Amino acid sequence: MPEQVDLFVVGAGSGGVRAARIAANHGARVMIAEEYRVGGTCVIRGCVPKKLMVYASRFAEEFEDAAGFGWSVPAPTFDWPKLIASKDKEIARLETAYIATLERAKVKIVKSRAVLKDAHTVKLLTTGETVRAKHILIATGAWPHHGAQIAGIEHVISSNEAFHLPQLPKRILIQGGGYIAVEFAGIFNGLGSEVTLVYRGEDILRGFDDDLRAHLHKEMERRGIKIVTRQIVEAIEKVEHGLCISLPDHESFTVDQAMFALGRHPNVSGFGLEKIGVRLAKNGGIAVNELSQSSIPHIGAIGDVTNRVNLTPVAIREGHAYADTVFGGKPTSVDHANVPTAVFSEPECGVIGLTEAQAIDLLPKVDIYKTSFRPLKATLSGRDTRVFMKLVVDGSNDRVVGCHIVGEGAGEMIQLLGIAVRMKATKADFDATMAVHPTMAEELVTLREKTASHVRAAAE
Ligand code: NDP
């Protein structure tokens, strides 16, 4: 007789773990399967280890800047294996904490790949056992892809491997212009690698505000990152002292490591979804309704595998909402609008709401307030850097509908601004808020002069 559960969760990443725990708190018998490590991409090989490495990389500037404030610092040295070991220790601690949280909630954890035998039966591949489940939740995340099968693609790593390199590469190629590419460009550059970023489009971070993209591009170059746009890596050849990178319209160059960050594909294949008829969306994710139910209502899906908004806090919210809906008697949907986000590049970006271009498309009247300034710290450090801030305002009702920041602490700033934007704060509310002086964020409440105003012509 197979074991019976109310909920079987496939994948113990941030979203799956949250759904399992909340469902168990609602009284459900819950089992969760994970084939790798509990914590998933964010905890094990994503946001958390990445941020630790971002911190590590930022010390380089701190040591340099200290001189302007009277400190004399002996030439710093950096020990890559030590960083990796410390980071791994912290990740192991977090994994243990995740496991403990699940166990406290009486969720049964199985370390196995799980495949669907039919719409209510899951098979655990490590033992061959089957489990009968009233509800199944797919939370299997997404997996990096390397694009076309170019010559030498076998030499390319993804960010997954970047967390465990035996040594810091002296020279690294990073291909891609999204979150991971710009974040790792900053990490490796800060730690001392020579970084070349190759991106196929006009400018990095497509989809972000154009001024923010241009500002970050310039700041990254100021820090010594070489950015090559409108190029795609054509071939990679192993040569005596590294990897020779060929671009179609550019001189070839040699690096020690090549990393691609070209996005991720939802993990939808190889566990029987097709067989039981779970429908996929056009973008390759599992198609779900606003309650995260798939085309088979008792099979749910949350997080990156649904390819909606691929961010950890969104997956967590979706997991929580799913558990409340199915086991808490409280149907809950997640609002995917106005999700604040940060790119932990160097310097970092914080963003919420509409870009200037999106607002112009959507709204009849748009006012823009933007500024770029030298932060106070840079006056004594002598660092050549500028902060960028932009508010996008709906001209017909004065609501702030977008905010875009590049500069130290942008991620922290945007988290709080997110509340104001969600509460539909107006530009007048921003203006009425007293500044905190001296901070960088005070600029957001002291932006008095419109820098642009876009009014749609009457005929449009
Ligand atoms: P992104 O989707 O952010 O970026 C992918 C990049 O690769 C784009 O610049 C894209 O170009 C380019 N690209 C895609 N296919 C090809 C190709 N075949 N050849 C050349 N270039 C290509 O993905 P990432 O890998 O950076 O990140 C994965 C996910 O992880 C993202 O969805 C993101 O939400 C999440 N993430 C979030 C973080 C955060 O919140 N701070 C941090 C890291 C990741 P183009 O723009 O032209 O399409």
Read off the CATH number of the domain in which 305 is found. Answer: 3.50.50.60
Q: Are residues 269 and 126 in the same domain?
A: yes
Q: Do 110 and 227 reside in the same domain of the chain?
A: no
Considering the domain boundaries, does residue 224 fall inside one? yes
Domain assignment present for 230: yes
The mean pLDDT value for 9-34 works out to: 98
Kindly give the distance from the C-alpha atom of residue 204 to the centroid of ligand 1, in angstroms, as a whole number: 10
Question: Are 168 and 199 found together in one domain?
Answer: yes
**pLDDT value of position 459:** 65
Give the residue, by CA position, lying nearest to ligand 1 atom 36.
Answer: 179
pLDDT at residue 26 tops 60: yes
Render 133-183 in DSSP notation, one character per residue: EEEEEE---EEE---S--BTGGGEE-HHHHTT-SS--SEEEEE--SHHHHH
- CB 353 less than 6 A from any atom of ligand 1: no
- Tens-place pLDDT, residues 213-227: 999 999 999 999 999
Where does the pLDDT of residue 250 fall: very low under 50, low under 70, confident under 90, or very high at 90 and above?
confident
Q: Is residue 454 included in any domain, yes or no?
A: no
Q: Are 46 and 86 contained in the same domain? A: yes
- Could you tell me if 193 and 106 lie in one domain? no
Quick check: is 145 catalytic? no
Any ligand 1 atom below 6 A from CB of 147: yes
pLDDT at res. 38: 97
Q: What residue's CA is closest to ligand 1, atom 7? A: 262
Query: What is the pLDDT at residue 460?
Result: 54
| DSSP tag of 280 | B
- What is the whole-number distance in angstroms between the Cα of residue 162 and the centre of ligand 1? 16
DSSP-derived pairing of the beta strands 349-353 and 400-406: antiparallel
Residue 332 covered by a domain: no
* Helices and strands, counts by H and E, the chain: 13, 23
Do 421 and 292 lie in one domain? The reply is no
CA distance 280 to 124: 23
Q: Of the residues 214, 239, 262, which one is the last residue of a structural domain?
A: 262
Same domain, yes or no: 315 and 347: no
pLDDT of 458 reads 74
- Ligand 1 centroid–CA 212 distance in Å is 17
Q: Does ligand 1 come within 6 angstroms of the Cβ of 49?
A: no
Q: 385 or 456: which carries more pLDDT confidence?
A: 385
Which residue's alpha carbon is at the smallest distance from atom 41 of ligand 1? 343
Number of domains comprising the chain:
3
Question: What pLDDT, on a 0 to 100 scale, did the predictor assign at position 251?
Answer: 85
CATH number at residue 345: 3.30.390.30
Q: In angstroms, what is the span from residue 263 Cα to ligand 1's centroid?
A: 4
Is any ligand 1 atom within 6 A of the Cβ of residue 232? yes
Instruction: Give the residue whose CA is nearest to atom 42 of ligand 1.
Output: 179
**Are 188 and 135 in a shared domain?**
no
Which among 145, 164, 437, 454 is annotated as catalytic?
437
Indicate whether 334 belongs to any domain.
no
Distance between Cα 43 and ligand 1 center (Å): 19
| Confidence category of residue 129, pLDDT binned at 50, 70, 90 | very high
Q: What is the pLDDT of the chain when averaged over all its residues?
A: 97
The residue segments making up the domain with residue 220 are 153-262
Mean pLDDT of 444-450: 97
* Beta-sheet pairing, 257-260 with 156-157: parallel
Q: Bridge partners of 10?
A: 33, 138
Q: Are residues 17 and 122 in the same domain?
A: yes
- 178 Cβ inside 6 Å of ligand 1: yes
Closest CA to 139 of 30, 253, 9: 9
* Interval 337-388: pLDDT, tens: 999 999 999 999 999 999 999 999 999 999 999 999 999 999 999 999 999 9
Q: Is the CB of 56 under 6 A from ligand 1?
A: no
Atom of ligand 1 nearest to the CA of 304: 32
CA distance 258 to 299: 39
Res 42: pLDDT = 97
- Position in ligand 1 atom list of the atom nearest CA 262: 7
Do residue 136 and residue 173 come from a single domain? no
**459 lies in some domain:** no
71 in the same domain as 39: yes
Mean pLDDT of 311-318: 98
- Asked if the structure places residue 219 within a domain, the reply is yes
Cβ distance 326 to 38 under 8 Å?
A: no
Distance 201 CA to ligand 1 centre (A): 12
